[in-house]
Amino acid sequence: MRNIVAIADKELRSYFVSPIAYVVIGLFALLFGWFFVASLSVMVRFSMQAGMFGGGPQSININEFMLRPMLANTAIVLLFFLPFLTARAYAEEKKSGTIELLLTSPLSDLEIILGKFLGVLALFVLMLAVTALHMVILFWYGEPELGPMLSGYLGLLLMGASFISVGLLVSSATRNQIVAGVVTFAVLLLFWVLTWLADSLGPTTGAILSYLSLLEHFDDFSKGVIDTKHVAYYVSFIAFGLFLTAKAVDTERWRG
């Protein structure tokens, strides 16, 4: 466990040594802030328009009208951001030549993979933590429900962790960070649009594709529903991605 934490700490620090972490967190906070202001503006306008027929501003469900669409937009942003965060995980090690030192160190493949995974995941958690200020503002001026808000963030966390597992797998198979980022984005986009393809296929194939879709399992979280089948899907997706990464790293080790 100590080795895993050490690798995770090294991975996290490497993002802050360069401008990567600051740029990513800054842009993510800027986009989330824009979503927040735009959603709040629409909600206030809708409340005022409804009040014209009801004798005054009408109260509306903040979670359903504002928070759920905002979290859905955030998930789309993560689809673009996370592939390029994970691109450097192994590709940079191969490019700089430090991958040989890492693979010949007294560390198991599992420790290396989990360490890198937790390092990127920690940066992702920091990105989500920045948005907590906006949630505080909602509670200060309104009465949102805490349960759906927490379940929505849990959904983002699980979905983001799934993105990271795919990113580590692709990064472990190439030396080029740009290639790793683009391929990861393409793979995640494929899993994202499976539901669209399911609508044009038969009921059996459509049901299978819908279940495999990353987006399909996030929807209930944004509604405030934590279903064990969705949690199991994301956990299985993460585990399978890390398993394939372990196989790719093992192949690299034998080549070395």
Residues of the chain scoring pLDDT < 50: none
Predicted confidence at residue 169, as pLDDT, reads: 92
Domain assignments of the chain as residue spans, ordered by start: 2-255
pLDDT of residue 60: 64
| Identity of residue 135 | M
Check residue 164 and give its pLDDT: 95
Q: What angle do CA 27, 30, 31 make, to 5 degrees?
A: 90
Give the residue among 239, 225, 242, 228 at the shortest CA–CA distance from 172.
242
Give me the residue label for tokens 């393409």: 186
Per-residue pLDDT, 194: 79
Q: Which residues of 196-222 are buried (b: 16+ CB within 10 A; e: fewer)?
A: eebeeeeeeebeebbebbbbbbbbebb
pTM (2 d.p.): 0.89
pLDDT of residue 58: 52
Q: Looking at this protein, which amino acid is placed at residue 54?
A: G
